[in-house]
A and B are shown apart, each in its own frame.
Chain A
Amino acid sequence: MFKKPLLAAVSLIALTALAAQAETIRIAEHRQARIDALKAVAPAIEAKLGVTIEVIEYPAPEKDYMSKLLTELGAGNAPDVFTVPGDSDVPDLATAGYVAPVTEAFAAWEGAAHTFDVAKSLATGADGVMYAVPTMLSVQQIYFRRDVLEKAGISTDQPKDWADLMARAKEIKDKTGQYALLFPMGASWGGGAFGEGFQYMLAGTDTPQLVAAGGKLDLSSTGVKDVLTFYADLVNADLMPVDPLLGPEPWVIPKYEMFPAGQLVATTCGTWCYIYDWGPESKNPIPDVTKAVGTWEVPGKAGGNGHVMVSLNSPWLVNANASPLATQVALELGSVAADVAYASRLGNIPARRDAGDDAEFQKLTALVPVLKAVENGTYLQASAGFSAVSEGVARATEAILRKETDGAGAQKILVDYVTDVLGPDAVQ
């Protein structure tokens, strides 16, 4: 007699329990500082959106992280939300069909109005679709040991053009006996050869973009050749430490050991260097880092205004197979609180203006003035095929490091590689 009502009651309870169970959103994150930042903000997002966030920890080296992530994306079992190193990686993931568009959700998000225009441009593809949530920015320029230069009686003024930069590097080598200037190069550095060096210099040439009007990649430009020739001159004059760049983890010795020890006097870097590489989060900090280490904008080849390079730092992407709630989680990872959590641990710059008003962000005194300068930054517009370009630059600069070729030869390596990979139709 009571069987049916009992069964109905049990079913109702079970259904209610299922409905009440929060949806789980899996987020991929790597490197301990980034994982710490995510874990710090995850509870607030869970409470706001009624979701459960599962943080999946990935291998720390960028190359290993990307290999694992892309393999899982290809297999269809990747997490719902994940980052890629920079904006140059986004178009190729979008073309592969791995990521969901976020254009409409971003436009409706409260943070959209506060996001810097440059960040929006970097996150939007040539087709006008946004595939990445721009949350943090890399603002990169040349960092130099002011204390070392002043002690040696070398000018700390902004170099006017490339010739002036090269002359300054030679003077540093002559007067201090130390390596003068480092640009990331070579195959071991992975995407760094492109993202942390090559694109800075290219922005200062007559041909500052790599995508031609028809959408093809223009790698035969004079700008590309000029950058690679500058690199070859730097290596051939023994102004740059070459051996560490040919080994595994090439950034460790020059950035974490030589620069703090004053054995390398200038290097390209981003704001994170003041926090993560040589600042309070560093294992080998430079005392009073913001005074001991100064910055130069990257000069143009023929002079003119110098520039700082702005790019998206680890933008959040949403898996094409994820639920719409994953997009909301990705947007929440762009909240001021999340941005400041990442900025304080990694030293990157929030992609939104209103982060500047945050009391916690104000404590990051090395980053505050940079946030204000973001809008004046230069950027390289990414397009499909940039993964191949990045690998091609790594190979071309590897040949320069090995002293196997000059600038023109390195350019040929780049063009040939990208043409081989993408086919002749993709390259101008």
Chain B
Amino acid sequence: MTYQSRAQWQLRLILLPSAALLLALVIWPALYAVWLSFTNAALVGPGAANPRFVGLRNYARLVGDGDFWNSLMVTGLFVLGSAIIGQFVLGLVSAVLLNRPLRFRAVFNAIILLPNAVPEVVAGFLWISMLAGGERGVLSRIVMGLGLQPQDWLNTFPLTMIIVVNTWRGIATAMILLTAGLSSVPKEVHEAAVMDGAKPGQIFRMITLPLILPTIFLYMLISTVSTISIFGFVYALTRGGPGGATEILGIYLYNQSFTAYQLGYGAAVAVVSLVFSLIVGVIYVRALKVEV
């Protein structure tokens, strides 16, 4: 055996534990979910005792299920509002501001990172308190101070509120990634642009943004896919209500599987959700022709 082939075998051996873990904890459950989606498996009734193959029945039911389409639309708006617009814009602004020489920069960094230090369910309950209806909620007190009527925020503007909360939670991730992108832009390019008389706005638009585009798309990919699969804090905040207004795919999936006890149907939702994420990923990676 040559040195090279021995080295290759050693590398394969080193990779084996992680490959085994991926197989056991990711690939096998995913394949099992696909299989479940073709059965009438349930948590109660005959479907729990003896699940049987039902072909495409769950998928056919999904097509005609208005609640599923509502959930898909809510998820789209949630991703657009919080991941693509909210987190990205505020994350970029934070990254640009904190990339400059600034007093107390470490303090600002810490403030932006704080939301990530709180477990998501705890964050959900904190925001329930902030957004509570009547005169007790923090936000209602603030608007009352401005002479406006208090609101039951989670009932009156449910989708907007979960977008705001998810934006709050996600700014730090966006900022960290985009800061890394900004750091990779050579200072010489900026200096040359300044010497050529470019204004700060022009430098940002014509030089900085194009140079950090790969980082932006990497961030978009990560944040879009992770936002599609969000569950915990939205469940803690609204449980998908009122009236399905915040029933994102993760909650819809949970409700089908563990509230309505239809595991097969829930698995079909999970498979569609996976396909949805893959399509979004492919759009970012391939259609926009950005190497990430």
A-side residues, CB < 8 A to B, are 63, 67, 70-71, 73-74, 89, 92-93, 95-98, 186-188, 190, 243, 246-248, 384-385, 387-388, 391, 395, 398, 401-402, 420-423
Contacts and interface: CB of A to CB of B under 8 A. Distances in A.
A95 B49 contact: yes
Q: Which of A67, A248, A401, A422 has the most CB of B within 10 A?
A: A248
Nearest to B262: A421
B243 interface: yes
B24 interface: no
A398 B259 CA distance: 15
B239 A391 contact: no
Interface in B30-73: 40, 42-46, 48-49, 61, 67
A127 to B, nearest CB: 14
Interface string B134-168: 00000000000000000010110000000000000
Contacts of B152: 243
Nearest to B128: A248
B44 A95 contact: yes
A420 B268 CA distance: 14
A283 to B, nearest CB: 15
B61 A70 contact: no
A93 B46 CA distance: 9
A93 B260 contact: no
A92 B43 CA distance: 9
A412 to B, nearest CB: 12
A248 B241 CA distance: 7
A96 B155 CA distance: 38
A420 B45 contact: no
B239 A96 contact: no
Contact of B261 (A97, A387, A420): A387
Given A387-B45, A421-B265, 15 more contacts: A67-B259, A74-B48, A93-B44, A96-B46, A96-B48, A97-B49, A247-B154, A247-B241, A247-B242, A248-B239, A384-B45, A384-B46, A387-B44, A391-B259, A421-B260
Given A96-B49, A246-B155, A402-B243, A420 B44 contact: no
A98 B48 contact: yes
Contacts of B44: 70, 89, 92-93, 95-96, 387
A160 B183 CA distance: 78
Contacts of A402: 243
Given A74-B43, A92-B44, A385-B45, A246 B241 contact: yes
The 8 nearest A-B residue pairs measured at CB = A246-B242, A96-B48, A92-B44, A248-B239, A67-B258, A70-B43, A246-B243, A97-B49
Contacts of B155: 243, 246-247
Contacts of B260: 388, 391, 421
Contacts of B259: 63, 67, 190, 391
17 contacts: A74-B43, A93-B44, A95-B45, A96-B46, A96-B49, A187-B244, A243-B242, A247-B238, A247-B241, A248-B237, A387-B44, A387-B261, A388-B260, A391-B259, A395-B67, A421-B265, A422-B45
A41 B19 CA distance: 52
Interface in B239-278: 239, 241-244, 255, 258-262, 265
